[in-house]
Amino acid sequence: MLSLRSVSRSFREGERLHRVLDGAHAEIRDGEFVAIVGRSGSGKSTLLNLISGIDAPDAGEIVFDGVAVSQLHEPERTLFRRRHVGFVYQFFNLIPTLNVEENVRLALELDGVRGEPARRRARELLDQVGLGTRLRSATDVLSGGEQQRVAIARALVHKPRLLLADEPTGNLDEENAGQIQALLSDLVRQRGSTLILATHAQVPRTLADRAFELKDGRLHEITL
């Protein structure tokens, strides 16, 4: 479903050119849970931004289901993300002036789905992440684990084919981190979606199908 073909990306730091990705290559199949592991600063976030079309590579190609995302113009990449990609971040990025249901529903309303269809889909996802009784709660009264569950529901409510998770357990304790990883795995498999999870932590082999280490700008498949 997703091909990374000799992808390179550099950033200029003063007079120095910092090469973050240097000919990275990977093939990811439809429905897989793939972990991208690497130390902080290794380029994991940059890689996810390229896959989603937030940024464009300096060289190489990123192909999603036959579409060369890396060659799309910016408005086309925005539409691609809106239709096909969901995001979960380390920082939950919830809107504090909206309650739990409204935060999830907003993702649908931005895509033109409103009223009862949006409410129904938001509540269905919140039930699945264990927050069906907290629809009207303010997000700032939730625990960190609960806020991340809201963020996961928001990321999945528009039924994306690809879910990108960037250090989604970085702000959680070990127990909550394990629960969030398992929840992500369960939800994407139920939907037949593909999950790419970037992390510096260990991912249990019972959850992920494959793993790559991002090191020296390249992806190396490793054993979990």
The domain ranges of the chain are: 30-57+72-222
Q: Give the CATH number of domain 30-57+72-222; options: 3.40.50.1980, 3.40.50.300, 3.40.50.20, 3.40.50.1000.
A: 3.40.50.300
- What mean pLDDT do residues 97-107 have? 95
Q: How far is 71 from 77, CA to CA, in rounded Å?
A: 9
> Cα torsion for 137, 140, 141, 142, to the nearest 10°?
80
Q: How far is 175 from 203, CA to CA, in rounded Å?
A: 13
> Is this structure's pTM higher than 0.85?
yes
Q: Which of 57, 56, 48, 142 is nearest to 103 (CA)?
A: 142
pLDDT on residue 26? 97
| Helix spans in 11-114 (H) | 44-52, 74-84, 100-109
pLDDT per residue over 134-180, tens digit each?
A: 999 999 999 999 999 999 999 999 999 999 999 998 888 888 888 99
pLDDT per residue over 13-42, tens digit each?
A: 888 888 999 999 999 999 999 999 998 889
